[in-house]
């Protein structure tokens, strides 16, 4: 298994990104014309951003990355990325108490509560509060309680 990854990207003096796996991105070009500015040297596919390129390599060339998901075959650069990704294949155990929508990852529930219900989800105590002053006061209180427990 090769351990090449995205750490090999370097920026040269002409504002161009080159990749050890084999892609390049140029900073010049007409802003009015959508133009692919990264090309995969493995298969020739063209992408518009480094993020798209990383996703492409992860899905199309996972053998180039150090870790591969045994469930779906997606490639990961780090072991922690693979661990986090593996949770996406699990059960939805985090439930919204407002609408009963279920999530596989805790931070997805936190984002949902804030964006859909304007509620702040406290990772410290798993409580939820109206976003704003009340949530800010709770965070201060919750952090103070944690500090006391650590003493």
Q: Examine the domain organization and report whether 107 and 82 are in the same domain.
A: no
User: How many other CB atoms are found less than 10 A from the CB of residue 145?
Assistant: 12
Whether 69 maps to a domain, the answer reads yes
Cα–Cα dist 63/4, whole Å: 9
151 residues of the chain, pLDDT tens digit each: 333 333 333 323 233 344 444 444 444 444 454 566 888 888 989 888 888 988 898 889 988 889 999 998 889 989 999 998 888 888 888 899 899 999 988 888 889 988 999 888 887 787 888 888 888 888 888 888 877 777 6
Q: Examine the domain organization and report whether 69 and 28 are in the same domain.
A: yes
Q: Examine the domain organization and report whether 137 and 100 are in the same domain.
A: yes
Those residues with Cβ within 8 angstroms of residue 115's Cβ, 6 or more apart along the chain or in another chain: none
The total number of structural domains that make up the chain: 2
With beta carbons less than 8 A apart as the criterion, state whether 19 and 9 touch. Answer: yes
Domain that residue 31 falls in? 6-87
Question: Which of residues 87, 103, 130 is at a domain's end?
Answer: 87
b/e map 62-72, b = 16+ CB within 10 Å: bebbbbbbeee
CATH code (residue 109): 3.30.160
Q: Examine the domain organization and report whether 11 and 51 are in the same domain.
A: yes
Give the ranges where 1-132 is alpha helix by DSSP (H): 50-60, 79-86, 106-117
């Amino acid at each position: 298994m090769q351990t090449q990854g995205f750490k090999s990207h370097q920026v040269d003096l002409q504002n161009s990104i080159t990749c050890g796996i084999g892609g390049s991105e140029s900073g010049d070009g007409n802003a009015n014309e959508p133009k692919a500015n990264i090309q995969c040297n493995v298969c020739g596919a063209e992408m518009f951003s480094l993020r798209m390129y990383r996703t492409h390599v992860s899905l199309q060339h996972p053998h180039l990355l150090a870790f591969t998901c045994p469930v779906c075959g997606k490639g990961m650069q780090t072991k922690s990325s693979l661990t986090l990704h593996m949770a996406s294949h699990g059960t939805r155990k985090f439930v919204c108490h407002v609408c009963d929508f279920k999530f596989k990852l805790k931070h997805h529930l936190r984002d949902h509560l804030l964006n859909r219900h304007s509620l702040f989800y406290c990772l410290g105590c798993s409580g939820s509060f109206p976003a704003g002053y009340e949530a800010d006061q709770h965070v201060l209180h919750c952090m103070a309680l944690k500090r006391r427990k650590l003493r």
